């Protein structure tokens, strides 16, 4: 069976993660506020004063999803640690941009709520991406089928690189050496490469 990337599963996971982050941020902000100042009434979640922050965060969600999509996060072609690096960069940029908008427009907001929301965002995104991976593996829709073409050294390096990225679960269909029209038999690979390729084909 040829596996296909599951962009909607990943996009949906990121969306749910960011929405839950918003609620978790409010809960943590309210909890901290009650511990620090029990007599202080924390801002109401659905009050009119919080609407600007709610609309702004909705824009943050859409912005993050669009940036992730443009950087190949939903194609299963981007290595896992490159995804983490990109998530952190986008997170930092959105945090700074959100702060600038809130202060520049003098919008009413709770620093605890905003800070807690962004505190949760990265762990939630990472957790839901692994959840999406688990669901994809269970349903047989996770993984990217690839063919490796190149010289002997390039082929070996590609096999080792693909086998090291366990998150994307690459599946090598065929291996072709330059100038050859038939796939390279597994038996002709070094033992370590054979093991790596068998792992990828599971």
> Worst-scoring range by mean pLDDT, 26-40, 115-129, 160-174?
160-174
**Strand, coil or helix: 38:** coil
Comparison of pLDDT for 60 and 108, the residue scoring more: 60
- State pTM to two decimals: 0.81
Band of pLDDT at residue 190, cut at 50, 70 and 90: low
Band of pLDDT at residue 98, cut at 50, 70 and 90: very high
> Worst-scoring range by mean pLDDT, 24-28, 56-60, 80-84, 152-156?
152-156
Over residues 20-41, the mean pLDDT reads 88
Whole-number pLDDT of residue 198: 54
Over pLDDT 90: what percentage of the chain? 42
Measure the N-to-C terminal CA separation of the chain; round to a whole number of Å. Answer: 12
Residues 6+ away with beta carbon under 8 Å from 65: 11, 14, 15, 18
Instruction: Select from 184, 123, 133 the least CA-distant residue to 159.
Output: 184
Tokens of 57: 């965060």
Q: What is the DSSP string of 63-119?
A: HHHHHHHHTTTTTT-S-HHHHHHHHHHHHHHHHHHHHHHHHHTT----HHHHHHHHH
pLDDT at 17 > cutoff 70: yes
Over pLDDT 70: what percentage of the chain? 86
Query: CA-to-CA distance for 80 and 92, rounded, in angstroms?
Result: 19
Band of pLDDT at residue 202, cut at 50, 70 and 90: very low
Comparison of pLDDT for 43 and 189, the residue scoring more: 43
Beta bridge partners of 144: 170
Band of pLDDT at residue 2, cut at 50, 70 and 90: very low
pLDDT at 80 > cutoff 80: yes
Whole-number pLDDT of residue 156: 77
Instruction: Select from 124, 176, 181 the least CA-distant residue to 147.
Output: 176
Band of pLDDT at residue 36, cut at 50, 70 and 90: confident
| 152 phi, psi to nearest 5 deg | -55, -50
Q: What letter does residue 184 receive in the DSSP assignment?
A: P
Beta-strand ranges (E) seen in the chain are 144-150, 170-177
pLDDT at 55 > cutoff 50: yes
148-176 pLDDT, tens per residue? 777 777 777 777 777 777 788 777 777 77
Query: CA-to-CA distance for 137 and 116, rounded, in angstroms?
Result: 32
């Amino acid at each position: 069976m040829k596996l296909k990337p599951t962009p909607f599963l990943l996009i949906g996971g990121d969306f749910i993660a960011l929405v839950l982050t918003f609620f978790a941020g409010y809960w943590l902000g309210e909890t901290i506020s009650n511990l620090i100042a029990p007599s202080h009434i924390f801002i109401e979640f659905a009050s009119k004063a919080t609407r600007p922050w709610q609309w702004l965060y909705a824009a943050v969600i859409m912005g993050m999803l669009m940036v992730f999509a443009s950087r190949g996060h939903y194609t299963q072609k981007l290595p896992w640690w490159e995804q983490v690096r990109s998530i952190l960069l986008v997170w930092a940029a959105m945090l700074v941009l959100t702060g600038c908008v809130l202060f520049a427009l003098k919008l009413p907001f709770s620093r605890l709520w905003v800070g807690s929301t962004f505190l949760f965002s990265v762990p939630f995104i990472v957790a839901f991406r692994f959840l999406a991976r688990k669901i994809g593996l269970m349903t047989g829709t996770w993984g990217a089928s690839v063919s490796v073409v190149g010289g002997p050294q390039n082929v070996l390096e590609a096999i080792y690189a693909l086998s090291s990225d366990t998150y994307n679960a690459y599946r090598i269909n065929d291996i072709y050496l330059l100038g050859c029209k038939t796939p390279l038999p597994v038996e002709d690979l070094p033992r370590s490469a054979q093991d790596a390729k068998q792992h990828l084909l599971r």
